[in-house]
């Protein structure tokens, strides 16, 4: 939790791809390879039917799903 991070004096620091544009071609190549080989997976939720689309959007905005939400028509 956030409180645990604070009480342990942990520092979080983000990085931006804008700061490392020179590394982008290599990253995209390696990331694509790992996805194709199955070394990385991307979480998604698949729902069927256009009638599920409004609820899927509400759940996505509410943070109920990790990754992408796909609605099959």
Q: How do residues 11-68 score in pLDDT, each as one tens digit? A: 888 888 888 999 999 999 999 999 999 999 888 899 999 999 999 999 988 989 888 8
Q: At 72, is the secondary structure helix, strand, or coil?
A: strand
43 or 1, which is more confident?
43
36 or 1, which is more confident?
36
pLDDT at 19: 87
Contact 32, 51 (CB under 8 A): no
pTM for the model stands at: 0.48
């Amino acid at each position: 939790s956030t409180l645990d991070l604070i009480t342990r004096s942990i520092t979080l620091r983000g990085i931006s791809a804008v700061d490392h544009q020179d590394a982008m071609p290599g990253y995209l190549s390696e990331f694509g390879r790992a996805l194709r080989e199955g070394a990385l997976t991307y979480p998604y939720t698949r729902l069927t039917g256009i009638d599920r689309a409004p609820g899927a959007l509400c759940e996505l905005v509410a943070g109920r799903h990790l990754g992408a939400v796909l609605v099959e028509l």
